[in-house]
Chain A
Amino acid sequence: MTLDLSRRRLLAAGAAAVVAGACSERDGGGGDVDLDFAAGAAGIERLAVDHFTGTGRLLTDGKLGALVPPALAALVANAVGQHRQAHDAWNKVLAGAGRAEVTASPAKAQEALNAAGLRVTDVLAAAALALRLEDYACQTYQRALPTLGGPETTTLAARLNVAGQQRQAVLRYLLGRNPLAGAGADPHLRLITG
């Protein structure tokens, strides 16, 4: 399709898109609320990197069955790199504000995830646990988005949430479920402990 945009409409259309970048150049990001969130998000992304790395190892070692669905293996491998990039992005925000980078996973969540992992014995259970982790991360972003103040932090959280929502939808599809999250889903974080 060819979209016929006049110069004026183009300016207006681009306004919302460019403003985040323009402001972040001016002010360098949000305040303490945003930075606290960035630290928490970096920890969750670290958790996801470690979890998907471990799941990939189980798949390739044949610990979850000899038959590994190619689509699931590809998703897991992709997720390792994507969560690593997300982790790096949050640490860049922290470093830019003079804060220490986050290199460890949140201890309680890690402990709960490890316990849940002990019950994973096949590829479907592995996919289901990965879905819980993605849901947990997305709910974290979803709850924070209306409260974040800095355009840079807001945009980063939103873009990562969009990627996470897509991974969730594909995981649900691979599991034979409705790809859409249930309407009116529990707004409270429940996934690691559930």
Chain B
Amino acid sequence: MHTDEGRGLARRHVLALLGGGILGGPLAAPAGADTALDVRILQTASSLEALAEAACARLPADGLSGFARDAGRRHAEHKQAFQSQTSTLGGRSQDAPNPRFLLLLEEPDPLAAAATIEKVLVDTYISNLTVAGDRRARELLAAAMAGAAQHLAVFRVAGALAAPGSTQPLAVPLPVADLPKLPSTVGTVAPPEALHAMGGPELIADPASGALG
């Protein structure tokens, strides 16, 4: 099969679900729908980066605060990159946090919420890599996916060190002298599996969820 053929099938399938529904059929996508889907993917990605930036800002001022600032800044940079490409494709820039996952910002445990949000970003970007047609959009999705995966790893380590029974305080960066004191779970908590486990649809932001009309 030609390398673009699989992505084309995937795009037509998503377009059908988003647009005309199953009855419209996979070939019922209107002209210009390919770019329109890419714009929606980029706008939704912008909204997810805005959400993650807000989640990082909620993290408490402790050993993770410097990392949280750094992570938040990188989310802002990714958002700007997605917005720029949205404009290049003729769409409007999305700047608001994704409304579908906004309630996560009210979770009482900001660390758990931030980890969940990073996983939403990772899983959504993996899904969108198979359907985005624009080459630059795919580059941005891959880069943002990598960044979110690194953030997720640190939040998982932080969660392990915050777990009951853990005596080692979290500090990022780690004083090297403390390396022998870290429990073995720090070495296995991220990644927990060889192939990143995708969440269900409830933790994936569909391309319409952050799209602007």
Contacts and interface: CB of A to CB of B under 8 A. Distances in A.
B14 interface: yes
A176 B174 contact: yes
A118 interface: no
Interface in A150-172: 150-152, 154-156, 158-163, 165-170
Nearest to B124: A16
Contact of B187 (A31, A71, A83, A176): A71
Contacts of B154: 169, 173, 179-180
A16 B187 CA distance: 32
Interface in B166-211: 172-176, 179-180, 182-191, 193-196, 198, 200-202, 204-209
A159 B142 CA distance: 11
B2 A149 contact: yes
B176 A31 contact: no
A3 B188 contact: no
B3 A166 contact: no
A19 B152 contact: no
B212 interface: no
What band does the interface of chain A fall in when counting residues whose beta carbon is under 8 Å from B? 35 or more
Contacts of B71: 180
Contact of A16 (B139, B190, B204): B204
Interface residues of B, number: 82
B129 A82 contact: no
- Chain B interface secondary structure, helix, strand, loop or mixed? helix
A125 interface: no
A163 B150 CA distance: 9
Given A12-B17, A19-B14, A179-B67, A151 B182 contact: no
Nearest to B71: A180
A181 interface: yes
Interface string A86-103: 100100000000000000
Which 9 residue pairs of A and B lie closest in terms of their CB atoms, listed nearest first?
A149-B3, A74-B187, A14-B201, A75-B187, A16-B127, A85-B194, A166-B153, A82-B194, A162-B196
Given A158-B142, A162-B191, A174-B186, 8 more contacts: A145-B142, A149-B1, A154-B130, A155-B129, A168-B150, A170-B157, A176-B175, A180-B151
